[in-house]
């Protein structure tokens, strides 16, 4: 029987996204608070003699183009892990299948989740035993959100978002998630932020109000503290998002927020029941409305077949 393992990785919401003026390397300094929420991609890696990758996107997310095998972030993970952790001259071999339910190009770190899942799965399949600190460093090379996708839960991110520290979170938070059938490009949203705010401070807005609200466990306090500096840029590029945010709040959400660089909009609700009610109301005019809860775990193994214990 072929050895295989499946790793699951979650989407993220930025509860706080403070963005400073761009650094010399073009990246923006961030002070952000990530929360992993219960929308997942599953990645299964099978032992094989060659390298192959297939992706499948959940039907409800519509017709979306993902980069072809060879250009996918999962290919980059395999190359990087092999180059840094395998013997000279080795090449990546595995058959990898990615099954996506995280909206694509939606501001919920779908590609980053797949990268984190691939790091965990291939490290285990190839028995590399990469230390956690090196896994986090490799994750940071792959993308600013990837270290958070590894650790999950609720965490503060600084630097360009890649320097993550778990934070206290005493709540069980209920979300409505409204994806959009047209993605927004993350670099384009950051560029639009620069155009709208040419005098932005180099120091991003501090995350303290959200950290305090998380420690209270009170949804009303968290709703008041939610903050996203990219929201104005995303809404300026896509004014319909502003209408959606207002509508969710009028239907009973405590607060609507663009997720990261958008265009997915998320709505914090008082309870799971309230989230179901808001979702049902929004579903009368939107093709896809989901509910989710957070925080949930980072990239973790959910199935092995048969796989020797170390
Ligand atoms: C918007 C967020 O999702 C919030 O968590 C992230 O900042 C984006 O994270 P990501 O998609 O993992 O981003 P990366 O793959 O590292 O970078 C993609 C592009 O986004 C822009 N970028 C990203 C992160 C950052 N701190 N400043 C930036 O300006 C840059 O144009 C970069 O070329
Ligand atoms: N495995 C993958 N899954 C999804 N997108 C991928 C993958 N590999 C590469 N991409 C590409 O990466 C880009 C960003 O997609 P992704 O779904 O990560 O967006 P996002 O959620 O907005 O990211 P973030 O919130 O981290 O900025 C898209 O152009 C997408 O086609």
Local confidence band at 206 (pLDDT 50, 70, 90 cut-offs): very high
Pairing of strands 290-294, 173-178: antiparallel
Atom of ligand 2 nearest to the CA of 104: 17
Q: Are 161 and 211 in contact (CB under 8 A)?
A: no
Instruction: Taking residues 114-121, report their average pLDDT.
Output: 98
What does the pLDDT read at residue 309?
A: 56
149 lines ligand 1 (CB under 6 A): no
**Nearest-angstrom CA–CA distance, 144 and 197:** 22
**Nearest-angstrom CA–CA distance, 283 and 253:** 14
What does the pLDDT read at residue 264?
A: 97
The mean pLDDT value of the chain amounts to: 96
Gap from CA of 4 to ligand 1 centroid (Å) = 32
Cα 97 to the center of its chain, rounded Å: 19
What does the pLDDT read at residue 75?
A: 97
8-state DSSP, 297: B
The residue behind tokens 């980059």 is: 76
What does the pLDDT read at residue 307?
A: 73
Active-site residue, selected from the candidate residues 41, 42, 123, 145: 145
Angle between helices 132-142 and 73-85 (to 10 degrees): 140
Q: Are 176 and 248 in contact (CB under 8 A)?
A: yes
What does the pLDDT read at residue 64?
A: 87
Local confidence band at 14 (pLDDT 50, 70, 90 cut-offs): very high
Atom of ligand 2 nearest to the CA of 183: 22
Q: Is the pLDDT of residue 310 over 60?
A: no
**Nearest-angstrom CA–CA distance, 34 and 278:** 23
The complex's ipTM? 0.95
106 lines ligand 1 (CB under 6 A): no
Tokens of residue 296, six digits: 């949930």
The answer to whether 75 is a known catalytic residue is: no
Residues 6+ apart with CB under 8 A from 83: none
The answer to whether 132 is a known catalytic residue is: no
Closest CA to 16 of 231, 287, 226, 252: 226
**Segment 168-183, tens digit of pLDDT:** 999 999 999 999 989 8
Cα 301 to the center of its chain, rounded Å: 18
Q: Is the pLDDT of residue 7 over 80?
A: yes
Tokens of residue 59, six digits: 């039907």
What does the pLDDT read at residue 70?
A: 84
Gap from CA of 108 to ligand 2 centroid (Å) = 9
Cα 265 to the center of its chain, rounded Å: 13
Q: Please tell me the number of the ligand nearest to residue 263's CA.
A: 2
216 CB-side CA count, 13 A: 14
Q: Is the pLDDT of residue 89 over 90?
A: no
Query: Does CATH place domain 1-304 in 2.60.40.10?
Result: no
Q: Locate the domains of the chain by residue range.
A: 1-304
112 lines ligand 2 (CB under 6 A): yes
Instruction: Report the share of the chain in percent with pLDDT over 90.
Output: 91
Q: Is the pLDDT of residue 88 over 90?
A: no
**Segment 130-172, tens digit of pLDDT:** 999 999 999 999 999 999 999 999 999 999 999 999 999 999 9
Q: Are 160 and 21 in contact (CB under 8 A)?
A: no
**Nearest-angstrom CA–CA distance, 233 and 309:** 49
Q: Does the N-terminal peptide bond of residue 295 adopt cis geometry, omega within 30 degrees of 0?
A: yes
Gap from CA of 270 to ligand 1 centroid (Å) = 30
Q: Is the pLDDT of residue 308 over 70?
A: no
Q: Is 223 helix (H, G, I), strand (E, B) or coil?
A: helix
Neighbours of 166 (CB within 10 A): 15
Instruction: Report the share of the chain in percent with pLDDT over 70.
Output: 99
Gap from CA of 23 to ligand 1 centroid (Å) = 13
């Amino acid at each position: 029987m072929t050895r295989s393992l499946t790793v699951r990785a979650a989407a993220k919401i930025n509860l706080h996204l403070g963005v400073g003026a761009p650094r010399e390397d073009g990246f923006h300094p961030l002070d952000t608070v990530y929360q992993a929420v219960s929308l997942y991609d599953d990645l299964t890696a099978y032992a094989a003699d060659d390298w192959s990758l297939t992706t499948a996107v959940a039907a409800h997310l519509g017709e979306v183009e993902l980069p072809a095998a060879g250009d996918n972030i999962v290919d980059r993970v395999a190359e990087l892990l092999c180059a840094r952790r395998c013997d000279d001259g080795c090449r990546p071999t595995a058959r990898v299948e990615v099954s996506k339910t995280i909206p694509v190009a939606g501001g919920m770190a779908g590609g980053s989740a797949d990268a984190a899942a691939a790091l965990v799965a291939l490290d285990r399949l190839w028995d590399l035993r990469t230390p956690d600190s090196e896994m986090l460093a490799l994750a940071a090379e792959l993308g600013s959100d990837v270290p958070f996708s590894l650790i999950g839960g609720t965490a503060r991110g600084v630097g360009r978002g890649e320097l993550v520290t778990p934070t206290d979170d005493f709540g069980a938070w209920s979300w409505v998630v409204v994806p959009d059938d047209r993605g927004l490009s993350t670099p384009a949203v950051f560029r639009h932020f620069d155009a709208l705010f040419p005098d932005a401070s180099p120091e991003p807005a501090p995350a303290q109000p959200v950290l305090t609200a998380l420690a209270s466990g009170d949804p009303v306090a968290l709703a008041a503290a939610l903050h996203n500096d990219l929201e104005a840029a995303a809404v300026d590029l896509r004014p319909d998002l502003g209408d959606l945010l207002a509508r969710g709040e009028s239907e009973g959400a405590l607060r609507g927020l663009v997720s990261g660089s958008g265009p997915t909009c998320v709505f914090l609700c008082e309870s799971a029941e309230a989230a179901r009610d808001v979702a049902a109301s929004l579903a009368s005019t939107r093709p896809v409305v989901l509910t989710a809860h957070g925080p949930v775990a980072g990239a973790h193994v959910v199935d092995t077949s048969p796989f020797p214990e170390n």
